[in-house]
Structure formats: C-alpha cells, structure tokens
Amino acid sequence: DAKTTQPNSMESNEEEPVHLPCNHSTISGTDYIHWYRQLPSQGPEYVIHGLTSNVNNRMASLAIAEDRKSSTLILHRATLRDAAVYYCILSGGNQFYFGTGTSLTVIP
Amino acid sequence: GAVVSQHPSRVICKSGTSVKIECRSLDFQATTMFWYRQFPKKSLMLMATSNEGSKATYEQGVEKDKFLINHASLTLSTLTVTSAHPEDSSFYICSARDGNTGELFFGEGSRLTVL
C-alpha cells in the first residue's frame, strides 16, 4: 500500500537545484508527507516532512501542492553526496509503506 | 539526533539455523518499532509492526512463525529468523518511532546471508 508514485530515476548536475516529484492522489486529510533517502547498504535517512505548508530545513525544502495530491522535494544545490534513492512516504496510520523511490544520480 | 542501532550489521549462517537481529533505540523510548526487508535494488517491504508489550502485527504474506518478533522493552525489539534458508538472505532494517515526538528513525540495517 505504497500510495505514492515517483519517477524511477533522475539525473542532476552537481551544484544545480534538483526537484524530485511525488504524486499521492489518494492522500487523506491526516496523512503527513515524509521524505527519506537511502544510500547503498544503509538504512533510510530522514530528509523532511510536512502536512500542508511548505517546509524548509538545512537539507532540503518540501513544496506541497495546494490540493496535497502531489509534492516536490527540492535540493537547492546538489552535491555528489546527495546521490541516493529518495522515498516519498505517506503516514496517517501507524505504518510507513515505501514506494519504489527515485534514484538520483549527481553528475560531477 | 536520535539513533537506532542494529546488531549484528552482517551475519552469515548455515541453512536451518536461527538468527536473531537486535534493534535498539539509544536515546528515546520507542513505543512502536517496524521491521522491513529489502532485496537488492528493491524498495523496503514492511514485514511487521511491533508495539511494546504486545504481539507484533504482521503484513500479509509474512510468516509469523518464521519471523519471530519480540518487543519486550521500550528500547529493544528483536527479529529472529527461524530455520533460515538461502531465500531468507536479505537486508533487514528496523525503525523506531519516538513515543514523544512521533518521529521515525531507521537503523543501519543487518545483512543476512544464508548458505
């Protein structure tokens, strides 16, 4: 029950902004939108989360559509260390179900 | 930040043996812990949800008698893979939810190889 759709892969040039989209058309009113990223052979790392308003932290920004049916994770300046699989997850109930994620490649 | 620790990080065992993986929340009390399995180049698949002091809730298709989960305290959950077979070889990842903030933190993962 992933409930989110993301592109399988994206590429970005180093030091350029990256916009990672996520569709969640069946989102309910109580679902938070979470983003995690995972490097090979490591556990997922928290990136950001939000409910309705756009959010900013030191790692990224999260832009949430007004109807909440989609969101975009924004990395303002991609670095080589940002190369990872990025997962967009909804959590309203107790469980976190992962979708397929987007594999981000950063080109030097 | 909050830390979730898994042990062991890697384990190799013979077919038919049982393997226990521990998941600890180091600086917060985890009312709920989750266990995931991840095959190469695939996403994380939720196996079960465990709440402290109660039986785990397993996802459809996950054998509860094969994957024993114990969540005896607010800082420790264990996953035991019983009578392991080569097809159980995978990357097992736990996560813990902070009972106060609701945030979810993941462990580093445990790679199981069954020969």
- Place B100 in a pLDDT band, splitting at 50, 70 and 90: confident
**pLDDT number for residue B72:** 81
The predicted-structure confidence for B59-99, as pLDDT tens digits, reads as follows 999 999 999 999 888 899 999 999 999 999 999 999 998 87
Q: Per mean pLDDT, which range of A20-24, A25-29, A100-104 is the poorest?
A: A25-29
Closest in B43, B103, B105 to A101, CB measured: B43
Does residue A105 surpass a pLDDT of 90? yes
Token representation of residue A35: 């983003």
The predicted-structure confidence for A37-94, as pLDDT tens digits, reads as follows 999 889 999 999 999 999 999 999 999 999 999 999 999 999 999 999 999 998 877 7
| Residues of chain B neighbouring A34 (CB-CB closer than 8 A) | 104
Exposure of A68 in the CB half-sphere (CA atoms within 13 A): 15
For chains A and B, count residue pairs whose Cβ atoms are closer than 8 Å.
47
Q: What is the mean pLDDT of residues B16-33?
A: 92
- Place A29 in a pLDDT band, splitting at 50, 70 and 90: confident
Q: What is the distance between the alpha carbons of residues B39 and B88, in angstroms, rounded to a whole number? A: 10
Cβ atoms < 10 Å from Cβ of B89: 17
Q: What is the dihedral of CA B20, B22, B106, B93, to 10 degrees?
A: 0
**pLDDT number for residue B2:** 63
Q: What is the distance between the alpha carbons of residues B85 and B36, in angstroms, rounded to a whole number? A: 18
**pLDDT number for residue B55:** 87
With an 8 Å Cβ cutoff, are A98 and B32 in contact?
no
**pLDDT number for residue A2:** 59
DSSP state of B56: P
| Residues of chain B neighbouring A36 (CB-CB closer than 8 A) | 106
With an 8 Å Cβ cutoff, are A46 and B36 in contact?
no
Task: Please tell me which residue, B93 or B3, carries the higher pLDDT value.
Answer: B93
